[in-house]
Structure 1
Amino acid sequence: MMKSINILFLLLFPLLVYSQKPDPYYSGLAKMEQKRYAEAVDELSGAINADNTQSKVYFNRALCHAELGQYSAAISDLLIAEKLRKYSGSYQLARIYAVTGKSDSAVFYLERHLSSSSRLPESTIKLDPAFNSLEDSPLWKNLWNKEWYSDFEILIAEVKYMIKSRQYIDALNLIDQNLEKYAHHSQLYAARGEILLIQENFSSAATAYSKALTITKTEPEYYIRRATALKKMGKNDEALNDLNKAIRIEPESFNLYLERSWLFNELKMYRQSLEDISFYLELFPEDGRAIYQKGRIYFSQGSYLKALENFNKCLAIDQSKAEYFAARGDTYLKTKTYRSAIRDYGMSLDLKADNPDVYLNKGLARYYLNDKDGACSDWQKAIRYGSVKAHELLNAHCVNTNQDHLSE
């Protein structure tokens, strides 16, 4: 019974999110992502007026103030964030004090950050350009005389460095050597999963992330990465379940709505797919890739006029993407607007000349216009780039001219 209730909630969750206009906090974060910091400040201020108890809202408004060079306002917000949730503003306070020449305060708050369980890796801090002015000071040197990091944190930093350096075998060996000692730490299993994903060992990657999730059930990245592995294995239902969990934990990760929208589409859950993409587009109305995705969803449903409307929109924003022209060409092909399809396929091939599917479909459009020579030429090019279907069409309609006409 409880399992059924949980499933029902996950299915209804999009409705709970989309039944109203995105709240000011979400709108503020979206404006931040678009680097529209002044507008983001306005939205986040609205969120604070509605609820002044959330440290994350003050924190993000502080980041916007800092981007605008409004350091006093940023410090004020970070101090409130720090008061509402201990250590939440300490690192950014250290950065701002450093860039404004207040070394004592910078080191004070950096020491406070290093005392927290959420401290950033040493390499991240030391490579942060905000602290360049402190590097030769006695304050900085004295700060790093203390051992801030545990043996496990040092180990994880080394593993992550190996992964970044593509030393995958060495990283796996180091993980294996320490799994027994640190069996209660999810990060080692997650690091193993990351390497296995890179190596396209999807089943083992999913297993590694599952082990990490038995230890830490509230880390959204583990669900996201396991969902990636599950999708590659064709287990879309399980992948959807993981994305639902990740979004419940971290609903402000907006790209997850794009990912889940397409997964809904693959599962033919079109209403939910459109709800996710529509929510995203309320926040990012000029995002061409999202508009393109919405067009593809409508295309999948057979709603070709709505698909065409969205492909026109994304091409009005960006004409540098071959896939945008190809998608509109496919839509014209479906609606038997063959000359427009040929034109768009040509534009797509100008941008990316090695797409066999575009040559295949361009050939179909030409065939339907009784341009058999042009169709055969396009199918020959499609074969050159690996199309099996084009080979079948060429044999059927180009080798023997007495073949019946191709069925639409």
Structure 2
Amino acid sequence: MRKSYKIRLLSALIFVFVLYIFSLSGCDNQEINTYYSTRHVLSGMNNIDLEKYEEAIADFDKAIKLNSNNASAYEQRGLAKLGLGFYQESSRDLNKAIKLDPDNAYAYKLRGFSKHHLGFYQEAIADYDKAIKLDPNNTPAYYLRGSVKYQLKQHFLAIADFDKAIKHNPNNAKAYALRGLAKSQLGLYQEASRDLDKAIALDPDNADTYKLRRLEKSLRMQHEKN
């Protein structure tokens, strides 16, 4: 109890000291709010890293209350809501982040992910297109756009995106796995098998990849029977 009191007292003294420094430097309330808003964003990002999404959202709420134009706060709150599966709420936050910062490739990529999970596939592709236009080296955007195209049975287009994702990151196991599955849908079974073997070699602990390889073998066996 005594230790907790000392910690609170120390925090209060630090807070007073920071305010004193701000007053000496001639900072106004808006600058002070911006400073503390940024601190809440950093705290929220740390909570996201720890997968404490609800605590992260509380941090971003505080950041936005202090500075309603903090694009990073909306972006990161959208990310935290993605972690909880709140796709509609995430999209609303990312809409705001993009409105405040129209050149934010990361926000477009996140919104594309939300739209994909909401079933708005063409809107998701449009967001990934924008993310890639703003950042041509955005490896996750190529992979995610490819996954939407695969779901739409646009297998050649999906493979082209997976090719680009692998070019930018040769260790992208997920891109190899889905490229393999797309190739199997086109009857390219040997290439598909090589891609899935590569995916397993890169990420041998991923159970989903083994499921995809079993699916690929099932498709190949059906083809051979016919």
Kindly report the root-mean-square deviation, in angstroms, between the aligned alpha carbons of the 2 structures: 3.2
Please report how far the alpha carbon of residue 385 of structure 1 lies from its aligned counterpart in structure 2 after TM superposition: 0.7
Residues 390, 283 of structure 1: alpha-carbon distance in 2 compared, 3 angstrom cutoff: same
Please report how far the alpha carbon of residue 296 of structure 1 lies from its aligned counterpart in structure 2 after TM superposition: 1.4
The residue number in structure 2 matching 1:336 is 153
Amino acid at match of 1:185: L
* 1:101-123 deviation line (CA, Å, top 9, x unaligned): xxxxxxxxxxxxxxxxxxxxxxx
Please report how far the alpha carbon of residue 219 of structure 1 lies from its aligned counterpart in structure 2 after TM superposition: 4.2
Amino acid at match of 2:153: K
Look up the SS of the partner of 1:300 in the other structure.
Answer: helix
**Counterpart pick for 1:263 among 71, 75, 80:** 80
Residues 295, 184 of structure 1: alpha-carbon distance in 2 compared, 3 angstrom cutoff: same
Residues 183, 237 of structure 1: alpha-carbon distance in 2 compared, 3 angstrom cutoff: closer
The separation in 1 between residues aligned to 2:152 and 2:219, in whole angstroms, is 27
**Counterpart pick for 2:132 among 315, 336, 345:** 315
The residue number in structure 1 matching 2:209 is 390
* 1:240-285 deviation line (CA, Å, top 9, x unaligned): 1221122112323221110011222333333332222122222322
* 1:38-67 deviation line (CA, Å, top 9, x unaligned): xxxxxxxxxxxxxxxxxxxxxxxxxxxxxx
* 1:51-101 deviation line (CA, Å, top 9, x unaligned): xxxxxxxxxxxxxxxxxxxxxxxxxxxxxxxxxxxxxxxxxxxxxxxxxxx
RCO greater where, 1 or 2, for CA within 8 Å and sep 6 or more? 2
TM-score of the two chains, using structure 2 as the length reference: 0.74
Residues 392, 261 of structure 1: alpha-carbon distance in 2 compared, 3 angstrom cutoff: closer
The separation in 1 between residues aligned to 2:182 and 2:12, in whole angstroms, is 53
The residue number in structure 2 matching 1:186 is 11
CA contact (8 A) 1:330 1:341 kept: yes
Query: Which structure 2 residues correspond to residues 224-235 of structure 1 after superposition, within 5 A?
Result: 224-235=41-52
The residue number in structure 2 matching 1:246 is 63
Q: For the pair shown, which has the larger CA radius of gyration, 1 or 2? A: 1
Amino acid at match of 1:391: Y
The separation in 2 between residues aligned to 1:292 and 1:395, in whole angstroms, is 30
The residue number in structure 1 matching 2:114 is 297
The residue number in structure 2 matching 1:325 is 142
The separation in 2 between residues aligned to 1:180 and 1:383, in whole angstroms, is 53
Q: Which runs of 5+ in 2 are unaligned?
A: 16-34
1:361 and 2:186 equivalent? no
Residues 228, 285 of structure 1: alpha-carbon distance in 2 compared, 3 angstrom cutoff: closer
Please report how far the alpha carbon of residue 373 of structure 1 lies from its aligned counterpart in structure 2 after TM superposition: 0.8
Q: Which runs of 5+ in 1 are unaligned?
A: 1-177, 191-217
Residues 266, 222 of structure 1: alpha-carbon distance in 2 compared, 3 angstrom cutoff: same
The residue number in structure 2 matching 1:160 is none
Look up the SS of the partner of 1:286 in the other structure.
Answer: coil
The separation in 2 between residues aligned to 1:335 and 1:401, in whole angstroms, is 18
The separation in 2 between residues aligned to 1:382 and 1:403, in whole angstroms, is 21
CA contact (8 A) 2:69 2:100 kept: no
CA contact (8 A) 1:380 1:390 kept: no
Query: Which structure 2 residues correspond to residues 167-186 of structure 1 after superposition, within 5 A?
Result: 184-186=9-11
Amino acid at match of 2:154: T
* 1:136-181 deviation line (CA, Å, top 9, x unaligned): xxxxxxxxxxxxxxxxxxxxxxxxxxxxxxxxxxxxxxxxxx9987
Please report how far the alpha carbon of residue 235 of structure 1 lies from its aligned counterpart in structure 2 after TM superposition: 3.3
CA contact (8 A) 2:41 2:72 kept: no
The separation in 1 between residues aligned to 2:220 and 2:192, in whole angstroms, is 16
Please report how far the alpha carbon of residue 403 of structure 1 lies from its aligned counterpart in structure 2 after TM superposition: 4.8
* 1:279-337 deviation line (CA, Å, top 9, x unaligned): 22223223322222221111121211110111122223332222221111111011110
Q: Which has the higher helix share?
A: 2
Look up the SS of the partner of 1:278 in the other structure.
Answer: helix
The separation in 1 between residues aligned to 2:129 and 2:48, in whole angstroms, is 30
The separation in 1 between residues aligned to 2:98 and 2:214, in whole angstroms, is 45
The separation in 2 between residues aligned to 1:345 and 1:363, in whole angstroms, is 10
TM-score of the two chains, using structure 1 as the length reference: 0.43
Aligned residues: 200
The separation in 2 between residues aligned to 1:392 and 1:250, in whole angstroms, is 47
Amino acid at match of 2:56: A
